[in-house]
Amino acid sequence: MRVSKAQAEQNRAHIVATAAGLFRERGYDGVGVAELMAAAGFTHGGFYKHFGSKADLMAEASASGLSQIAARAEGVGPAEFVESYVSREHRDGRGDGCTIAALSGDAARQPADIKTEFAAGIESVVTALQVPSGPSGGAEQRAARAMVIDMLAHAVGAIMLSRACPDDSPLADEILEVCRKEILASLAHGSSDRQAARNSDA
């Protein structure tokens, strides 16, 4: 039976969402098209009605996952983001967690279109987390952007290192605890430095 255009779009979106979760859990090479389609509730043969190749789905699923983390970061202060991100709950929730932490290592070995999606997604997260400060392109704004990039890289690295350890490893928890504490201290120090600079300019 022929499905409507609206239903086809819903089916495609469901496949993309399912793929995004599975890729975060297992990596791009850890799940095949047949298994992915079965998990989404469709037959293997239906895949090519929606996508030209697995690589096309990988790029679209990456973009979807990256947009989700950017949306979660919107309106959230850097410290609040870190408290939630650098946590055991996030570390253990691979399928529902951050695409950047789950797939950056895989993305580094993928074609340019997937790297392009990651670059755009990371930029969106940085933009969402950056607290407006000073004139556009000014020194204060550049410093605020640098602080967010440093914070995000540190937070992502903490999750990746923690996940590389056995689940019950004391080191896995220690990495999260140490990194969370250091990132928050760095954010507080950076905020006080910027405030001092504003006061001296006043």
| CATH number of 177's domain | 1.10.357.10
Residue 17 belongs to some domain of the structure = no
Residue 11 resides in a domain: no
Tell me the C-alpha distance between 127 and 121, whole Å: 10
The rounded percent of the chain whose pLDDT value lies above 90 is: 75
Instruction: State which residues form the domain around 136.
Output: 55-201
Give the residue, 141 or 54, on which the prediction is more confident.
Answer: 54
28-35 contact pairs (CB < 8 A, 24+) = 28/58, 28/103, 28/106, 28/110, 29/106, 33/57
The backbone torsions φ and ψ at residue 51, rounded to the nearest 5 degrees and listed phi first, read -135, 145
- 83 domain-assigned: yes
pLDDT in tens, 107-121: 999 999 999 999 999
Lowest mean pLDDT among 6-10, 42-46, 195-199: 195-199
Instruction: Report yes or no on 38 lying in a domain.
Output: no
Q: Please write the tens of the pLDDT for every residue from 4-28.
A: 888 889 999 999 999 999 999 999 9
Number of domains observed in the structure of the chain: 1
Q: How confident is the model at residue 140 (pLDDT cuts 50, 70, 90)?
A: confident
Using alpha carbons, select from 147, 171, 172, 170 the residue that is nearest to residue 162: 172
Residue 20 belongs to a domain = no
What average pLDDT does the chain have? 90
User: Domain for residue 169, yes or no?
Assistant: yes
